[in-house]
Structure 1
Amino acid sequence: MSETARPRTAPAWKTLGVGGAAGLTSCVLLQPMDLLKTRMQQERLPTASHVTATQRLVRAFQSVVHDSGYRGLWRGTVPTIARNVPGVAAYFYTLNEVRWLVAKWQVPGLSTLDTSTRTQRSSTLARLSSTGNIVTGALARVTIGLILNPISIVKARYESSHYSKDAYPTLWASLRSLYRDGGVRGFFRGFSATALRDAPYAGLYLAFYEQHKHSLGYWARGESGAWWVVSASSLGAGILATVFTHPFDILKTRMQTTPQALLRDASTSYRPSVIATARRIFQTDGARAFADGLGLRCARKAASSMIGWSIFEVGQRWVS
């Protein structure tokens, strides 16, 4: 039977369960890296304009530990779990369903007619063309990102030093605060930058991931679904996709975490659009600011991709 015609074997609750487990594991283990990345990407204070990236990272780490102890590195874990566990589960489920539909319907340009035996064991996902990988990955990621954007804003502000612990005491109080400050539109602040980041990231990630598995499969005697192939492929794909999309992560963080008091001067009123934010970063911090936190984000995304996709691929086979 060809890969495109293969019936789905795992019911929805198993796909969601495995995806949720992947999201929970990665967000709890890697939250300190997310917090430090946000601290490096947030609006810089005047005293930090000439500090190197390494010095800023060390200072951010020392500041968190000094103020809250090592437990402070996990500040923001609650909204991270609230976003990532259902978000990753929904992403994997949506991605799985969309890919099987595209493969079943043989959509021109997106599906593939590859029926070789080796590809039948390469993935728990339906096999698509490179364009199909990019389109389905982007569609699933942006859709889930839109739904969970309010929690993403709360998460970023929990992690930012511009907001005190008392500013967002609970997740529910945080969401009410967003609505009070900006109405319904306030829930989607920064989504344009998020979409510009997530669409190419998810698409490129899947394209790189499937290609790496296809290539590394030769070293695994044609079994591209071997655990080390999945781990290595997700690690490499996470790094490459992160490098290409990092500037938009900077824009998203600035748009979601910078207080209005820091965005106004005597003569102008700042509106948090992508273009306005990019212009402000160029004017105040220079082009180098678009690389803030790149190393941390590469490490974080590579690790989370390896953890998440390994759990998902292996888990899908185990529960099927």
Structure 2
Amino acid sequence: MKPEAATVAPLDIAHIRSQFPVLHQLVNKHPLVYLDNAATTQKPQVVLDALTAYYTGYNSNIHRGVHTLAERATTAFEETRKTAQRFLNAAEPEEVIFTKGCTDGINLVASSFGRSHIQPGDEILISGMEHHSNIVPWQMLCQERGATLRVVPISDAGEMQMEAFDRLLTDKTKLVSVVHASNALGTINPVEEIIRKAHAVGAVVLLDGAQAVSHLEVDVQALDVDFYVMSGHKVYGPTGTGLLYGKRRLLEAMPPYQGGGEMIREVSFEGTTYNDIPFKFEAGTPNISDIVALRYALEWVEQLGKTAIAAHEQQLLQRANTLLQEVPGLRLVGTAAHNVSVVSFVIDGGTSL
């Protein structure tokens, strides 16, 4: 739902802007105005400071050393997991897996859960508004396993056609993977209804939260979603970071995604036993510095408040839509009733976002 701006204290935009060093420059002789947040967000100073603090103060490998720097680095790394648990309201920190981003998280689920659960004749259901990262891994899995990929069409308004969803959702459907909020249209999908209906036929649900987590309150327990992925770089954190939430019972039953490093409990040439979650899915030395800094990005968003962020963005979106409709030859694309702050349009002579 769209927030009621009148009930939310306005943000101090000048103060917020001052926290982003990259914006303190002229581009083409004008102060930089950055509108490409659907692709990646800029980073506030607190995130940059966290990166510097790690490399200048306690750069070390984690989970395997007993010296002071290793203990400090391990503590900082795991603090991010606790923050992520709170950010998504996971039941426990062990349900949070660190990844490189949404693409990595979706591929992890496709490779681990998919290969161990999807059988010939099964079906996977996605929507017509998905990003490549939520299409190609399922195509690859279906080709490998002899399954079928079904696509729910979208309306001219950019909304998922729920009548078609109901028709395509059958007892053959084993997994539903849809975007929470569209990166191109801004559409917020009716994920509660999607999850409820998918569970009714025994299917598990993955939500791609890349464009949702910086705008919307996400409570994975309230949603009862099985898997939820997000990218750190789209919520003011470093690139190469992300989170996969999964229900404990599913993660524990899934085989490892990659081998080596922290995912091992004991290893010999005769065989290997695997670590508990979340470490079972975090092979090798992770992206320690950026994961440490991700915590500060999540806390920065929490301090601003998603309700205040969303209210301000809705004001901008409404003003943008009003002014764009005055441009000759321009037609807005995607006019869903529930959306986040993305504007797509077609204009005579070309297409822009």
**Higher fraction of helix:** 1
TM-score, structure 1 length as denominator?
Answer: 0.25
**Higher fraction of strand:** 2
TM-score, structure 2 length as denominator?
Answer: 0.24
Larger RCO of the pair (alpha carbons < 8 Å, separation 6+): 1
